[in-house]
Amino acid sequence: MWLTISFYTLLFYVIYRLIKFWIIHPWLVQRDFSNQGIPGHYTPIVGDILDRRRAFLADELLNYIEETSVKLGDYYHTSLGPFPCLTISDPALVESVLKTNSRSYHKAQLARAIVSTILGYENVLLAEDENHTRRRRLLNPVFQHQNINSMISLMVDITSKFSTKWRIKTDEQTYPLICDISKEMSNLTLDIITGCVFGVEVMNDKSIHETIYKSLKIALDEIEKRIYNLIILIPILNQLPIFGKRTIDKCRQDIKNITLQVINQRKQGLTKATWPDLLDLIFAACDDDNKQKFTDDEVADEAMTFVNMCRTILDEFRKNHNQFCTFTAGKIQRQG
């Protein structure tokens, strides 16, 4: 008898928790948004995940987001599955969240679940509270104006070589040059990022370059599938080594192994940057009293974060702006 009671009690508890997670909590949050006069819409359980998935499969995700912003304004509420979302694009509100009142906000559970899949939690992007404050304090000098400016000449040089490579290929052929603009622009993006982070020697290493390129591409593709198939939204299930998670973990570990290898080579003096790259700047980062510095693992985590986030942002921009890529490639070729 007691076993039966315990079983049904546990069963009802599990059902209650599921109902609370998928229906009650999202509805309460959306109700609070509506009571505050925030525009938006709410669909129980699935939210607007199905609309986003259709837009994603049609390669029109950015258009969908832009249309929603035009319809609802600079701030609005929606939901991604059971996760309520407040989307803001008003500069004053963005400044309030990211700067003025940043201590009042934490990263959203959904965003952490998605981004940590490839980056992990130990980096300035996902760290919280004192850990985040420490990492940000150490990294602030790295991104000072003069340090960023020092990388401009490298970016120009890489782009110039990219244009020269195309010109040589064109001159050597008697027929029009045919190439995959999407892949070429991705390679240019990765060249610039790896060159600025790890130095020209690493950028020119074809093995490292190809491993980072393939690992990032495979991992991001798998993450997108998990998002729009709702796998990443379901607790416990999103932690199991199924539905691409094992592939993503392997890609992440491959990138980290390469990053640690580059760090060890730099510390041993086997490689040397032509001018201070991001890796050197992170190595030198310290607090005001010179007592705190990054460990090798922390250097690797921050370098991976910079590479992955820059590549992700630029790659998503490229995928949704194919005409821009074609236009840019033409400009590079004509003005090179």
Do both 195 and 262 map to the same domain?
Answer: yes
Nearest C-alpha neighbor of 312 from the set 136, 114, 107: 114
At 336 the pLDDT is 44
159-169 burial code (b ≥16 CB/10 A, e <16): beebbeebeee
Contacting residues for 153 by C-beta, under 8 A, at least 6 apart: 275
Rounded distance between C-alpha atoms, residue 216 and residue 193, angstroms = 13
Q: Take residue 22 and report the two structure tokens written for it.
A: 């998928």
At 324 the pLDDT is 46
Do both 86 and 164 map to the same domain?
Answer: no
Asked whether residue 98 is domain-assigned, the answer is: no
Do both 171 and 303 map to the same domain?
Answer: yes
Q: Take residue 241 and report the two structure tokens written for it.
A: 């080594």
Q: Which amino acid is at 150?
A: S
Asked whether residue 88 is domain-assigned, the answer is: yes
Q: Write the pLDDT tens digit of every residue in 83-134.
A: 888 888 888 888 888 778 877 777 777 777 777 777 776 777 777 777 777 7
Asked whether residue 289 is domain-assigned, the answer is: yes
Asked whether residue 133 is domain-assigned, the answer is: no
How many of the other CB atoms lie within 10 Å of CB of 178?
6
Do both 202 and 271 map to the same domain?
Answer: yes
Q: In a 10 Å sphere around its CB, with 0-12 CB exposed, 13-18 middle and 19+ buried, how is residue 149 labelled?
A: exposed
At 331 the pLDDT is 46
The CATH number covering residue 244 comes to 1.10.630.10
Last residue of a domain, one of 57, 74, 92: 92
- Kindly report whether the global pTM for this prediction surpasses the value 0.85: no
Do both 183 and 319 map to the same domain?
Answer: yes
Do both 193 and 268 map to the same domain?
Answer: yes
Is 82:47 a contact under the CB 8 Å cutoff?
yes
Could you list the residue range(s) of the whole structural domain that residue 213 is in? 138-335
Asked whether residue 304 is domain-assigned, the answer is: yes
Which residues in the chain come in under a pLDDT of 50? 321-336
DSSP character for 84?
Answer: E
Rounded distance between C-alpha atoms, residue 67 and residue 184, angstroms = 30
Helix (H) or strand (E) segment spanning residue 77: strand 75-80
How many of the other CB atoms lie within 10 Å of CB of 273?
18
Partners of 83 in the beta sheet? 80
Rounded distance between C-alpha atoms, residue 307 and residue 275, angstroms = 19
Contacting residues for 28 by C-beta, under 8 A, at least 6 apart: none
At 232 the pLDDT is 75
Triad 56, 241, 123: Cα angle to 5°: 75
Overall number of domains in the chain: 2
Asked whether residue 28 is domain-assigned, the answer is: no
Q: Take residue 230 and report the two structure tokens written for it.
A: 């709702």
Do both 65 and 175 map to the same domain?
Answer: no
Asked whether residue 125 is domain-assigned, the answer is: no
Do both 298 and 214 map to the same domain?
Answer: yes
Do both 181 and 243 map to the same domain?
Answer: yes
Rounded distance between C-alpha atoms, residue 186 and residue 293, angstroms = 33
Nearest C-alpha neighbor of 196 from the set 275, 115, 93, 80: 275
Partners of 286 in the beta sheet? 293
